[in-house]
Structure 1
Amino acid sequence: MSDEKLTSVETAALFILLTEAGEALNVKLAQEHGCKLEKRSREKLEKLRLIKVGGTPRRLVLRLTEAGRDRCRAEFAAGSPPPRSGPMGGALYALLLTVDRFLTARGLSLGDFVTASNAPVAEDLPAVPAASAAAEPTSAEPALDGPALDGPALDEPAVEERVRAAYHKLAPRTGDLVNLADLRDLVVDLDPADVDAALRRLHRRPGVTLVPEANQKALDARTRAAAVVVGDQPKHMITMAAS
């Protein structure tokens, strides 16, 4: 990764592209974010392979590259703002360092952070009935750890409800990490592909995060096999807020 110094505007442009899920119109940076990226700076970022530029001269599209994301993460971890950033610059970099420490502790990438931040807010989501970990299954609800039952396949909300219930049965406290291998043992009667799809949907919901194992050398075969791939990264654990 290049360590060439960037101006505050160039760094801001990378941060904005990161929050825009990696892509935005050049004009949007200026009109909506107050970040006017001049041609010289744009060409500099492109030469450093931090962004790609496409579109037409009147409608330029800027795309953040993997190297650009790495540069953003390096800025998060820097802890100290560029010279002459003022108090707001100092406050921003203190906040970014806190975010970096959180992501490192949880083994999360910036992609995970942006995905969770851009998830729909709760009022935009269809209602999903909350499942109580202590509730006894009814005749219409298969037991969490019971044998496979005959009958029609469950719809998406029902599979998500089963996954939530399994998590809350395993988690000693709300927000604790649960190994997906243990969770899958409680929903063994469900189609694994349906469980994978439910986990990916839940990962986009507020309060739910799929997490990779930080120490890859510590992974056993069972945990590896239970992972669900989000983007291009296997996730081995899940954490949920109270439902």
Structure 2
Amino acid sequence: MLICPGARLAIDMLDEDVAAKSPAFERLLVQQALGLVDTFPGNDIDRAADVLLGIVSKDPQAKALVDRRIEQALAAQKRQALVAIRMLGTWADGVGATPAAARQRISRLAAEVRDDLKVGAARLAGLHRGLSSFATTPPPAAVRDPGKAITEFMRGTGYGADDTARAKRIFADLGRRSQEPSELADPDAQEKLVAVLDGLPAKDWPAGSAVYDQLVHWSERRPVATPEIEAWG
């Protein structure tokens, strides 16, 4: 999982119609924007899906690119599948050919989604009418505090006490959103945190998404790196 600044920039450019007069360039931006499928099914996916809908509705080649990436994500049966499901849910709430196709795809998905993804999918069900088929009775347990959910996952998957303690400090620093230098300026810390987020169970995507959003905010601030930061472990 990457912060994907290029993907977010591509969505901004598509939203501003920067490439409206150049279909080939527009498709390149679409391909770049699809990097968001490798992140988390957070709120930014709704905006990306809305922007992409405007493109795929008028360009069959761009639609083929998007459809192929969504099917790849669904077939992987990992967190990326939840991102694809959220995109389909955003489209399904609309009108037109693409939203109708999204509703048809969703109707088949309920039987295809693997058991370990069902809780994560159920958390999406309340966000879009078109995803109501993923709702469960009873509903999923309340979303846990991101820091607690992630550090609990770390303790249960072999991370040492030092790594877990350092992760807690980073979460606290991200949460403050201060301008002060952060331990996250260490590339090794960044790599390990990304690995932790990538390993989270799909049901805990809200926790991963919350930290991912903070990482995006941090990356846009570009804090100054400090040279003497100890590595995890």
User: Structures share a fold, TM > 0.5?
Assistant: no
Larger C-alpha radius of gyration, 1 or 2?
Answer: 1
Q: Which has the higher strand share?
A: 1
User: Structure 2 length as normaliser, TM-score?
Assistant: 0.27
Q: Which has the higher helix share?
A: 2
User: Structure 1 length as normaliser, TM-score?
Assistant: 0.27
